[in-house]
Amino acid sequence: MKKATWWRFNSMPGWKCENPEHTKVYYILKKMKPTSKFDVIEVKNGKLQVVGNRRGGSEPSTFTKQGGNYLLVNGGFFKMDNTFRSVGRTSVTNDRRRYVPIPQRYAQYYEKVTGEDGSYLSSGPSLKHRLNVQRPEFLWNTANSEITGSLAHASQPNERLVLVKTSTGDKFIFVYTAENPRKSSTRGHPGNGQTVNEMRTLILLWLKHFRPGVKTSSIIQFVNLDGGGSIYVSWNKGSRERRIARGNIGDETPHGTIKDPESGRILDPRTVPSFIKLFTTTLETIEE
């Protein structure tokens, strides 16, 4: 049976529950930073497919209207302008006008994420091993940060979205969102988000306590899919959508419309080049 299970861990004010010390829930909450949320979705035997608008730019609502039962997850980086060109060729943006090359400075850290139907995208960095963020390419400076497809953000706290695939065919989506996720020197705030190494540690901790049968040797892909404001994860059943996580808004629970604090305008999810569909028949929710 293609089944998905969703665990929710929340350290937002009013949501954090009391857990005895030295329980598996306690260890996860202790590792999280203040005002943050950590969602884990395990998909048993679900097929992966990369989808998107071949003419450029995709929004979640496009796929909600198509029906079917699946998780919808954005993935891959893109040029931050109105062209929505992906970083690296994908099965959606395989026209040369629809993508920009993966920068040579970071090419070794990117991985190809491939679906069972042959669809694909590229993202990074790979998290199979701890990243040496002391290397020059991970210094957070103007020269690195202005490169389209730069992975210098790996050394900085931010919201994170990660895919893990195992040799048994099971897949996991890990998403970490937070209020004030990024470091601010002007406010003296350290940032409630995760660096990629911190995210990797949190994921391995979760696997140790909640899925001890998943050994690192059985992980065939462990890759960062995205971070920050373009994060979007939802469960879709027929034409109904249940949003699981979204970047750049802080707490996603309880659900509702998201408004700009200054204008009051309802904010739509960020347009991105491509999404990942993980097909599953049911979603079981476990709130920790």
For 116-143, what is the mean pLDDT? Answer: 96
Q: Is the dihedral of CA 216, 111, 171, 209 positive or negative?
A: positive
Per-residue pLDDT at 207 exceeds 50:
yes
Confidence of residue 64 (pLDDT cuts 50, 70, 90): confident
* Domain coverage including residue 136: 3-287
Average pLDDT over residues 162-182: 95
Nearest Cα neighbor of 279 from 6, 46, 8 is 46
Q: What is the pLDDT of residues 247-259, one digit of tens each?
A: 987 655 434 444 4
pLDDT of residue 168: 93
Residue 261: pLDDT over 80: no
Query: What does the pLDDT look like over 141-152, one tens digit per residue?
Result: 999 999 999 999
Looking at residue 254, its pLDDT comes to 38
Q: Which two tokens stand for residue 284?
A: 């079981």
274 to 40, 218, 271: CA distances (angstroms): 21, 27, 9
- As for how many domains the chain has, the answer is 1
Tracing tokens 């590792």 back to the chain, one arrives at 31
Mean pLDDT of 92-106: 92
Please report the pLDDT score of residue 15 as a whole number.
58
Q: How far apart are CA 272 and CA 97, in angstroms?
A: 15
Percent pLDDT > 90 in the chain is 65
Residue 134 pairs with which residues in a beta bridge?
none
Rounded mean pLDDT, 220-242: 93
